[in-house]
C-alpha cells in the first residue's frame, strides 16, 4: 500500500484528455473523433449525390468521384460507425455491469489513439497526392500499383493501425464483461446492450485478424513487390475477396448488433416494460453472431464460385432472417401492453423497426443467388446496405446518443430539436435510399460517377439527391442541439427516463469511480427491481472503502504517434522514418513493461456519495 499514491494525479485541460484512461472520458473522445469523421464521410456522400443529381454532370471528375466513394465507405465503416459504437460501449457497458472501469484501462486508451491516428493517416491522403480510389473493398488487381494511385497505400496502412486499435478494444470488452460484473450480475441478467457489446467484441476478435492478413499481403504487393494478388506472377485476385469478406461480413454484424442492443434498451425503457423474450433475444444475438461467420461468400455470388458454393452460402444467409425476425417481433411485443413515450430517443428506436425490416427483407432477397446475379453491384445493393447501416445502425446510434446523453454529459438534449432532427433525417433517408432499389433494378450499376441520359434513371437519382439534403439538415440540427444543450445550465437528474439498468442508479455524469460501493444485482433490470421494491437505490455488495484507480498515462498517445510516423516511412520508402517511428513505439512499450504503475487510491473520505452500510 505504501507505494500507492493516495491522491489522483492533478491533471487538467488538454493534458487530462491526452492521458486519460477513464472509460467515460475515452467514450467522449471516441464520440468526438467518430463524430468528426462522420461529418467528413457525410460531406463526401453529399458530393457523391450532387454529382449524380443530373445525368452526365461534372460536379466532380471521374477520379475524384472514385476517391469520394472509397473514402465515404471506408470512413463511415471504420472511422465513424465503429468508434461511435465504441463510444457507447465505453460510456455504458462498465456502468451496466456495475464496474468501476474496463479490465484494461491503459489498453482502452491505446485502442482509441491507434484508431484516431490510423484515421488521421488515412485522411491525410487527400492532401498528399489523392485519396484511395479502389473502393472501400479495394479489390485487386485494381488496388495494385499498376492500376491505382498512391492513395491505396494510405488505406492499407491507415486501416492496419486503426485495426489494431479496434482489435484490442474488442478484447478489452470481452475481458471486462467476463470478469468485471458486479456480484449477482450473471450472464443471463446482463442488459441487452451489454450482451450485444459482448457478442460484437467476440466477432471483432475473430473477424479483424482476417482483414489484417489481407492488408498485410496487400501492403507487401504494393510496397515491396509481392505478388500475392498479381495473376501475371501466379497470384490470385479472388483470395483478396475472400479475406476481405471473411472480415467484411462479420463486420456488418459487429455494426448492427450494438444497435440491436440500444434499441432493446430504449424500447423497453420507454414502454415501461421488461424486454419481451429476453432469453430468446440473447439466443438470437449469439446465433446471428455465429451465422455471421458462415455467409461471407454471399458478397461474392458473381465471382464464379459455382452452383454448390453459391447455393449453400445463399441458404445459410437466408437462415439469418429467422433470429432477426425473432428480434423484430420481440420488440413489437415489448411495446404491446406498455405505456409508450415518444421521446426523441424512442422516436429513433421506433423508426428503426420498419426501416430495418425493409433492409432485412431486401437482405433475404439478396440471399437468393440467381436473383442476386441481377442485384449484385447495382444500386439495389446500395439501397439495401444503407437501409441496414443507416436505417439500422445510425438510427440505433442516434437513439443511444439521445438516451445516454444525460448519463455521458450530465445534460439533457433538447427534445424539440431532437424531434425535428429525427423527422428530417427519417424522411430524407427514405427519399434518398428507397428509389435506389428501383434504380438498381432498372439497370444502374453502383459506383458509377455518372449515367447517360435517356436511360430513365434521371428521376430516381434526382429524388435521391433531394433526400440527401434532408439527411444533411437532420445532422445539422443534431449539431445545433449539442451546442444548445452544452450552453444550457440545466443539469440532468441521475435517472431522467425511469431507467431499468444500473447506469441510472448513479449520478449523471457518474463520478470517476462510478459506484461508491459495488452494487448487488438481484435480477434482470437490476435498478428497476429495486425501484419497484420501494428501495432508494441499489443494495451495496461491499462496505464503503478506499477505491483503487488506474493512473493516467501519456504512453498510449505516444505509442500511436510512433506507428503513425512509421506509417509514412513505409509509404514513402524512407526507412529512417520507419525506424524512428517504431523506436518511439517500442520505447513506450518498454517503459510500460518495466515501470511499476501501481495506480492510486481515492480515500473513503473523498467519496462524495456517502453510501449505505453493506
Partner 1 sequence: MGMKGWQQFWRQLSLFGLLALALTGCGKDELSTLKPSGPVAAMQFDLMKLSSAIMIGVFIVVMLIFTYVLIRYRKRPGQQGIPKQVEGNHALEILWTVIPFLLLIVMAIPTVTTGFELHKEYSKEEALQVKVTAHQFWWEFEYPDLGVATAQDLVLPVGKKVQFHVTSADVMHAFWIPALGGKIDTNPGQENKIWLQADKTGTFYGKCAELCGASHALMDFKVEVMDQAAFDSWANGMKGVQAAEPVAATAASAAQGQEIFNKSCLGCHAVAGKGGKMGPNLTNFADRERVAGILAHTPENVAEWLKDPQKVKPGNNMPNLNLDDAQTKALVDYLQTLSVK
| Contacts to partner 1 from residues 335-354, by CB under 8 A | 335-342, 350, 353-354
Element (H, E) at 548: strand 547-549
Looking at beta carbons only, is 232 or 605 nearer to partner 1?
232
d(CA 383, CA 370): 19
| Touching partner 1, residues 145-184 (CB under 8 A) | 146-148
Minimum Å distance from CB 298 to partner 1? 12
Using the contact rule CB under 8 A, the part of the chain among 153-161, 360-368, 390-398, 578-586 near partner 1 is: 360-368
Residue 474 grid coordinates: 437532420
- DSSP state string for 463-487: HHHHHHHHHHHHHHHHHHHHHHHHH
Q: Does 213 contact partner 1 by CB under 8 A?
A: no
Using the contact rule CB under 8 A, the part of the chain among 56-64, 510-518, 567-575, 588-596 near partner 1 is: 56-64
Which of 71, 246, 254, 271 forms a contact with partner 1 (CB under 8 A)?
271
Q: Does 60 contact partner 1 by CB under 8 A?
A: no
Please, are residues 39 and 103 in contact by the beta-carbon 8 Å criterion? Answer: no
Using the contact rule CB under 8 A, the part of the chain among 105-113, 192-200, 254-262, 376-384 near partner 1 is: 376-384
Q: Does 395 contact partner 1 by CB under 8 A?
A: no
d(CA 146, CA 144): 6
| Touching partner 1, residues 289-328 (CB under 8 A) | 302-304, 306-307, 310-311, 314-315, 318-319, 321-322, 325-326, 328
Residue 571 grid coordinates: 509509404
Minimum Å distance from CB 331 to partner 1? 9
Tell me, by CB under 8 A, how many residues bind partner 1: 99
Cα distances (angstroms) measured from residue 210 to each of 158, 307, 332, 574: 16, 25, 37, 28
| Touching partner 1, residues 235-254 (CB under 8 A) | 235-238
Question: Dihedral sign, CA of 223, 162, 289, 70?
Answer: negative
d(CA 308, CA 508): 55
| Touching partner 1, residues 476-535 (CB under 8 A) | 532
| Touching partner 1, residues 551-570 (CB under 8 A) | none
- Residues whose CB is less than 8 angstroms from the CB of residue 167 and which lie 6 or more positions away in sequence, other chains included: 204, 205, 208, 209, 212
| Touching partner 1, residues 105-144 (CB under 8 A) | 133-135, 139-142
Q: Does 13 contact partner 1 by CB under 8 A?
A: no
**CB-count burial class (<10 Å; 0-12, 13-18, 19+) for 424:** buried
Phi-psi category of residue 135: left, alpha or beta, with phi > 0 → left and psi -120 to 50 → alpha:
left
| Touching partner 1, residues 65-104 (CB under 8 A) | 66, 69
Cα distances (angstroms) measured from residue 103 to each of 94, 107, 364, 464: 9, 9, 39, 45
Cell numbers 449525390 correspond to 49
Q: Does 469 contact partner 1 by CB under 8 A?
A: no
Which of 19, 90, 201, 362 forms a contact with partner 1 (CB under 8 A)?
362
Looking at beta carbons only, is 305 or 612 nearer to partner 1?
305
Q: Does 358 contact partner 1 by CB under 8 A?
A: yes
Using the contact rule CB under 8 A, the part of the chain among 57-65, 170-178, 202-210, 481-489 near partner 1 is: 57-65
- DSSP state string for 526-547: HHHHHHHTT-SSPPBSS----E
Minimum Å distance from CB 245 to partner 1? 14
d(CA 156, CA 121): 10
Which of 178, 188, 213, 332 forms a contact with partner 1 (CB under 8 A)?
332
Amino acid at each position: 500500500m505504501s507505494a500507492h499514491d493516495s491522491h489522483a494525479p492533478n491533471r487538467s485541460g488538454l493534458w487530462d484528455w491526452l492521458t486519460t484512461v477513464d472509460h467515460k472520458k475515452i467514450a467522449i473522445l471516441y464520440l468526438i473523433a467518430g463524430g468528426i469523421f462522420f461529418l467528413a464521410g457525410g460531406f463526401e456522400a453529399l458530393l457523391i449525390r450532387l454529382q449524380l443529381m443530373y445525368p452526365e454532370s461534372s460536379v466532380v471528375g471521374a477520379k475524384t468521384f472514385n476517391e469520394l466513394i472509397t473514402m465515404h465507405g471506408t470512413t463511415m465503416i471504420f472511422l465513424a460507425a465503429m468508434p461511435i459504437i465504441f463510444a457507447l460501449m465505453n460510456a455504458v457497458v462498465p456502468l451496466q455491469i456495475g464496474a468501476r472501469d474496463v479490465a484494461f484501462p491503459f489498453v482502452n486508451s491505446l485502442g482509441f489513439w491507434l484508431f484516431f491516428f490510423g484515421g488521421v493517416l488515412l485522411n491525410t491522403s487527400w492532401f498528399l497526392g489523392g485519396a484511395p480510389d479502389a473502393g472501400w473493398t479495394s479489390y485487386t488487381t485494381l488496388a495494385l500499383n499498376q492500376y491505382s494511385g498512391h492513395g491505396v497505400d494510405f488505406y492499407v496502412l491507415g486501416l492496419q493501425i486503426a485495426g489494431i486499435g479496434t482489435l484490442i478494444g474488442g478484447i478489452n470488452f470481452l475481458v471486462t464483461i467476463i470478469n468485471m460484473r458486479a456480484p449477482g450480475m450473471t450472464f443471463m441478467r446482463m442488459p441487452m446492450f451489454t450482451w450485444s457489446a459482448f457478442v460484437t467484441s467476440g466477432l471483432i476478435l475473430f473477424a479483424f485478424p482476417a482483414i489484417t492478413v489481407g492488408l498485410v499481403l496487400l501492403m507487401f504487393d504494393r510496397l515491396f513487390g509481392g505478388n500475392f494478388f498479381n495473376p501475371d506472377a501466379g497470384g490470385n485476385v479472388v483470395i483478396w475477396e475472400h479475406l476481405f469478406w471473411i472480415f467484411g461480413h462479420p463486420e456488418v454484424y459487429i455494426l448492427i448488433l450494438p444497435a440491436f442492443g440500444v434499441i432493446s434498451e430504449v424500447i423497453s425503457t420507454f414502454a415501461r416494460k421488461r424486454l419481451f423474450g429476453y432469453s430468446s433475444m440473447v439466443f438470437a444475438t449469439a446465433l446471428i453472431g455465429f451465422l455471421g461467420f458462415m455467409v461471407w461468400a454471399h458478397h461474392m455470388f458473381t465471382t464464379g464460385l459455382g452452383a454448390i458454393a453459391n447455393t449453400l452460402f445463399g441458404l445459410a444467409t437466408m437462415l439469418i432472417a429467422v433470429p432477426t425476425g425473432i428480434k423484430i417481433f420481440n420488440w413489437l411485443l415489448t411495446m404491446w401492453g406498455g405505456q409508450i413515450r415518444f421521446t426523441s430517443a424512442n422516436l429513433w428506436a421506433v423508426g428503426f423497426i420498419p426501416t430495418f425490416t425493409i433492409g432485412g427483407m431486401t437482405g433475404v432477397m439478396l440471399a437468393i443467388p440467381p436473383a442476386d446475379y441481377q442485384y449484385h453491384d447495382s444500386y439495389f445493393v446500395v439501397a439495401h446496405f444503407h437501409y441496414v447501416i443507416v436505417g439500422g445502425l445510425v438510427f440505433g446510434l442516434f437513439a443511444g446518443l439521445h438516451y445516454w446523453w444525460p448519463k455521458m454529459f450530465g445534460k439533457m438534449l433538447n427534445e424539440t430539436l431532437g424531434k425535428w432532427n429525427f423527422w428530417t433525417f427519417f424522411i430524407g433517408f427514405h427519399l434518398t435510399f428507397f428509389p435506389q432499389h428501383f434504380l438498381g433494378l432498372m439497370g444502374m450499376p453502383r459506383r458509377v460517377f455518372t449515367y447517360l441520359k435517356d436511360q430513365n434513371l434521371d428521376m430516381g437519382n434526382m429524388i435521391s439527391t433531394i433526400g440527401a439534403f434532408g439527411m444533411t439538415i437532420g445532422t445539422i440540427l443534431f449539431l445545433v442541439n449539442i451546442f444548445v444543450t452544452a450552453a444550457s445550465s440545466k443539469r440532468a437528474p441521475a435517472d431522467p427516463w425511469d431507467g431499468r439498468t444500473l447506469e441510472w442508479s448513479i449520478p449523471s455524469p457518474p463520478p470517476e469511480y462510478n459506484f461508491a460501493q459495488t452494487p448487488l444485482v438481484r435480477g434482470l433490470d437490476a435498478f428497476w427491481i429495486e425501484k419497484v421494491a420501494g428501495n432508494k437505490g441499489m443494495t451495496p455488495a461491499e462496505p464503503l472503502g478506499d477505491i483503487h484507480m488506474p493512473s493516467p498515462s501519456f504512453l498510449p498517445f505516444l505509442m500511436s504517434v510512433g506507428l503513425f510516423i512509421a506509417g509514412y516511412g513505409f509509404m514513402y520508402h524512407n526507412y529512417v522514418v520507419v525506424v524512428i517511428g517504431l523506436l518511439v513505439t517500442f520505447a513506450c512499450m518498454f517503459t510500460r513493461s518495466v515501470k511499476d504503475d501501481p495506480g492510486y487510491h481515492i480515500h473513503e473520505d473523498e467519496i462524495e456519495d456517502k453510501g449505505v452500510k453493506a
